[in-house]
Amino acid sequence: MYVADYVLMEYGTGAVMAVPAHDQRDYDFATAFGLPIRQVVAPADGSEPPAGEAFISHSDDERLVNSGEFDGLTAVEGKQAIIARLQREGRGQESVNFRLRDWLISRQRYWGCPIPVVYCDNCGLVPVPDDQLPVRLPEIEDFQPRGRSPLAAAEDWVNTSCPSCGGPGRRETDTMDTFVDSSWYFLRYCDAHNDTAPWDREVLRNWLPVDQYIGGVEHAILHLMYARFFVKALADMDLLDVQEPFKALFTQGMILGPDGQKMSKSRGNVISPTPIVERFGVDAARCYVLFIGPPDQDAAWNETSLEGVHRFLARLWRLGSELSELAGGPADADAPADPQGGGLELVRKANWAIDKVTGDLSGRFAFNTAIAAIMELVNELYRHPEADGQARRFATATAASLIFPFAPHLGSEVYELLTGVRVWEQPWPAADPAMLVADTFELVCMVNGRVRDRVTAPTGAPREELEQLALDSRGVKTHLDGHAIAKIVVVPDKLVNVVTG
């Protein structure tokens, strides 16, 4: 059955019909019951679709066939052409459907924005005038609903005068859903000191849209929808110049309890931060939360892993303490003039860490892999205690500056011990491109597209040398086993693929 993953339509004698399909089941069903199968789409490159199975296509790799005047069009082009013909003949038109539903914004609770209306026996429902806004909540002692809104018991606040006739009136005692005020707070942030209006349009024109929205999945779904709704409504009212409040969305995962379940008091799996901070320190607690896993995924709390992060920070602190007592002076710590004398490898690793952490933090929020890179650098320092002192100081100061966003107290202390300056007053470190190029690399050796060996090769080696290294490797020799070589594909500084005839 040749089907697409979209619906066109059945149109008169030149039937064009493509039903939704995402697997083989449609074809199997039609075959089993002897239903007619009509091909309506084919590969865009002109080749024949696979025989005896469903052809699942997408709009960028297909063309319509057996569709009359619409033959040769893609799905997108076909839809538009069919709609245009239906509109010309007065038999249909293009439309967009929205799943709009009423939103009940009133709540029978104290916390929330008061609804600014007054009920008057003579005037009916009267809005509170602008010069009497905002309506402020009264001070009350009992916040329980008790069958009605808590505000209903505040009679001095409820009983007021009608803004229209001046007669007796009653305030609305329901408050608005908190989403009403939380859906546009970011607009006020841009112009927080404005005493005459919620915001100045010119000010918001310079600030909006917000560059990055970050929130938990459970919170962000509704809040994001309401925020977009408010901004679009305000734009339609000609109060804003943007249609979308946020440029990018990032939803973070949750920290689960040690049992892998969502933390809750009823389950008894809530972790209090106080004893964690008292035992390991706030830097270790903060670092562990960021290191526990990808920030967009849930992760279960594990105190053993927390202890590992604490040990890593302690190792960095010991390095800083020991190196700060060596000769050389703090001014030399961030600028090794001579990385030789056993220190070149450390300097390369430090620059690699700078490049890795910078990339992980640049829009990807990959905090866990960034911290892992700093751990690698610290491990490298402990593997080379005999290395040049100046290079060791540079690598340790680099580790301190890179860990600073995650462990600010320890990072700043170690950095100042080694450099004599405050890390937050310095620019973010930049990797030396020359130090990112290694002398050697791991050459992947393949036979007919499958990895058979890995060997060390000089960086920048010519094609002929890479070919010979691959042919001489044990894995390639074993899998060639006398087969004739048809061609050899070389990707410089990466791989060699030997293709047999």
Report pLDDT digits (tens) over 347-388. Answer: 889 999 999 999 999 878 899 999 999 999 999 999 988 888
Band the pLDDT of 255: cuts 50, 70, 90: confident
Report pLDDT digits (tens) over 385-404. Answer: 888 888 999 999 999 999 99
State the DSSP string of 412-472.
HHHHHHHHSS-GGGSPPP---GGGGS-SEEEEEEEETTEEEEEEEEETT--HHHHHHHHHH
More confident residue, 78 or 217: 78
Q: What is the model's pLDDT at position 6?
A: 34
Which region holds residue 34: left if phi is over 0, alpha if psi is between -120 and 50, else beta?
Answer: left
pLDDT at 148 over 60: yes
Return the closest-CA partner of residue 151 out of 124, 182, 113, 105.
113
pLDDT at 335 over 80: no
As given in the structure block, the two tokens for residue 341 are: 């004398």
pLDDT at 23 over 60: no
Q: What is the model's pLDDT at position 354?
A: 95
**CA 190 from centre of chain:** 24
Q: What is the model's pLDDT at position 438?
A: 74
Averaged pLDDT of the chain: 85
CB 108 within 8 A of CB 148: yes
Q: What is the model's pLDDT at position 7?
A: 34
Q: How far apart are CA 62 and CA 41, in angstroms?
A: 6
More confident residue, 52 or 175: 175
Return the closest-CA partner of residue 301 out of 333, 346, 261, 348.
261
Highest mean pLDDT among 56-70, 132-146, 185-199, 243-257: 185-199
As given in the structure block, the two tokens for residue 253 are: 């995962």
Q: What is the model's pLDDT at position 267?
A: 84
Q: What is the model's pLDDT at position 12?
A: 36
Q: What is the model's pLDDT at position 467?
A: 93
Q: What is the model's pLDDT at position 398?
A: 95
CA separation (Å) from 419 to 65, 311, 323, 390, 398?
A: 72, 23, 11, 12, 10
Q: Stretch 452-478: mean pLDDT, rounded?
A: 91
More confident residue, 341 or 422: 422
pLDDT at 3 over 80: no
Q: How far apart are CA 1 and CA 49, in angstroms?
A: 10
Interhelix angle 273-280/282-291, nearest 10 degrees: 110
Q: 40: which residues sit within 8 A by CB, 6+ positions away?
A: 2, 3, 4, 8, 16, 17, 18, 64, 65, 66, 67
Band the pLDDT of 309: cuts 50, 70, 90: very high
Q: How far apart are CA 378 and CA 322, in angstroms?
A: 14
**CA 42 from centre of chain:** 37
Q: What is the model's pLDDT at position 340?
A: 53
Strands 175-176 and 213-216: unpaired
Band the pLDDT of 344: cuts 50, 70, 90: confident
Task: Evaluate the omega torsion of the peptide bond into residue 49 and state whether it is cis, within 30 degrees of 0.
Answer: no
More confident residue, 329 or 82: 82
Q: How far apart are CA 110 and CA 152, in angstroms?
A: 10
Return the closest-CA partner of residue 61 out of 20, 4, 118.
4
Report pLDDT digits (tens) over 400-452. Answer: 999 999 999 999 999 999 999 999 999 999 998 888 877 778 899 999 988 99
